[in-house]
Chains A and B, each alone.
Chain A
Amino acid sequence: LPSILEEKSEGPLSETEIQELERQLNVLSNHCAHLGCPVRWMPEEGGILCPCHGGIYDINGNHTGGPPPHGLWRYVSQIREDGRIFVKHEFYVEQKGRTKPGIYTKPYVV
């Protein structure tokens, strides 16, 4: 967790704090880039694992092993001043490959 969050418990976030948080934040799809199974964080292995066919990703969602063709999908997100994360109904994948329609939930506010 970014240190800002530990120090700060209330009050609006400043511009620099938002930038700092956004830099450290990944909003990843929980759907494996292989065949869409729900992935999970494995604390012992320090990676994200898909239980269906063994796709493995690192903490940033980059593909490190198994059958997936690319890393996890990332959602377009913003951090608002009140500390909420706004996730857009839009995603991208940081790789040369073309983007595919993913399966994801409606836009939601965390």
Chain B
Amino acid sequence: MASRITAQTRRWGRDLADWMEERTGIVSITGKLLYEPMPRRGRLLYTLGSATLFLITLQFLTGILLLFNYAPTTDHAWDSIYYIMTNVYFGKLIRGIHFWSANALIVVIGLHMVRTFLSGSYKRPREMNWVVGVLLIVIVTVMAFSGYALRWDQEGFWAWEVGAMIASYTPLIGNWAITALLGGDTAGPATLSRVFALHVWLLPAALAPLIGIHLYLLRKHGEFGATFEYAERLAALRKRRQMEETFGSAEEVGSGNATDTGYSERARDEQRIVEIRHAPRERVEEGEIVTKEDVFDRYDEPQGFFPGQVVVDLTVSAILLAIVVVLSYAVPAPLTEPMDVSTTVYVPRPEWFFFFLDQWLVYFPGSVLIAIGDVIVPFLFVLLLLAIPWLDKEPAHSPARRPFVVVVGFLVILVIVLNMLLTLVRIANFPGGTPAG
């Protein structure tokens, strides 16, 4: 009896899968997504990307939940957050996860970028994925900046004011920029509406499709470095040579298949997945050269995305979730005093991820230098990041083989860390917030 039920259920399941496959192709798509070949070696490092995606997903989910109680008006913004923290069921948890996973996101997305930089993963053909990644990190930074202005407390408001003032030094469009950011020539109700529109609509709407493109490009090019592509190319070359030897020239063989796309293509993909999953784990021989580039020093054993990589990704995500949940109760998300624009005692201090920029601002006095140091240099830095794939055209991927680029990258990181430390010292001497008494 039991076996009959099992068999029946299985058949229904298969029928349903077939029905859906015929109409949507969902089964083969899922198969393709799950059994994507991945290098076994990069396992843990590749979790940085999935952790970024996980934390952004958390941001979207908790952000939506916060919207159920948050009021984006100067009268009620602070009160509504106070209400979330004290009265709303799990309000502290929801806001805590939003706050702490945002902090974690900045760390993880930074590490993800450093990893991508060190492993040279922006090289051909992945240039556009690097570009999209830089845009994503810029958007995430602006999201973080606008996020705490929404609290409409002293910390958030003054940070936004400093940001708006920095924008006002932009050459040519400075006055326009500050008016746009403030929603007028003064900070007021329209300012909060602008911040709200940016944080809740504009930036997420830009973020989501870019994440989609990022993932699409990731899957398009695969997780493997150049080696795997060359290994595949090598296999294709061998096969063609074999076919040529057997049947004649490639053109003659290929002509028959030219119109035959669709099903055969899918079947070939499935065949490839099976081949990869069951391929004997043997390394390509050392010194076997396909092109002039020596690519076999990075040969990786493949594994399926599922379950190998999925398990590691989920483990890291689960650990991160546990950390942000614990932190949201252990160290509740901060809310300083309500915004008071006429204060003469409050000392604004930026969030930690803006420390280096804050220190940077000290070095440039006078309107000309302020424009150069605070607006043009950061802008050029983003342009430099975008241009990295075209500046570093060295075919090698290993950091050891590209010392110049790696040293430059290391110096940039050193400058950022040293400036962060300098800001820490400055803050230790003159702490932020409202002095007691």
Contact = CB atoms under 8 A, between A and B. Distances in A.
Given A36-B165, A67-B365, 4 more contacts: A38-B158, A38-B346, A101-B179, A103-B165
A104 B366 CA distance: 21
Interface in B358-375: 358, 361-367, 369-370
Number of chain A interface residues as a range: 20 to 34
B352 interface: no
16 contacts: A34-B165, A35-B162, A38-B344, A53-B362, A54-B362, A67-B361, A67-B363, A67-B370, A69-B370, A97-B367, A101-B178, A101-B185, A103-B164, A103-B186, A105-B341, A106-B186
Contacts of A106: 186, 188
B162 A104 contact: no
Nearest to B184: A101
Closest 3 pairs between A and B when the two form their complex, measured CB to CB:
A69-B367, A67-B365, A36-B165
Contacts of B367: 69-70, 97
B361 A53 contact: yes
A75 B233 CA distance: 72
B70 to A, nearest CB: 24
B175 A100 contact: yes
Contacts of B363: 67
A39 B369 CA distance: 21
Interface string B38-78: 00000000000000000000000000000000000000000
User: Main SS of chain A's interface residues?
Assistant: loop
A51 to B, nearest CB: 4
Given A51-B347, A69-B370, A100-B174, A35 B165 contact: yes
Interface in A44-79: 51-54, 66-70
A30 B165 contact: no
Contacts of A100: 168, 174-175, 178
Contacts of B178: 100-101
B342 A105 contact: yes
Contacts of A51: 347-348, 430
User: Main SS of chain B's interface residues?
Assistant: helix
A92 interface: no
Contacts of B175: 100-101
Contacts of B164: 36, 103
B365 A38 contact: no
Contacts of A103: 161, 164-165, 182, 186-187, 341
A27 interface: no
Contacts of B174: 100
Given A51-B430, A67-B362, A69-B370, A37 B348 contact: yes
A86 interface: no
A4 B39 CA distance: 84
> Among B341, B343, B430, which residue has the most Cβ atoms of chain A within 10 A?
B341
Contacts of B362: 53-54, 67
Interface string B162-197: 101110100000110011001001111000000000
Contact of B162 (A52, A66, A70): A52
Contacts of A31: 161
A99 B317 CA distance: 51
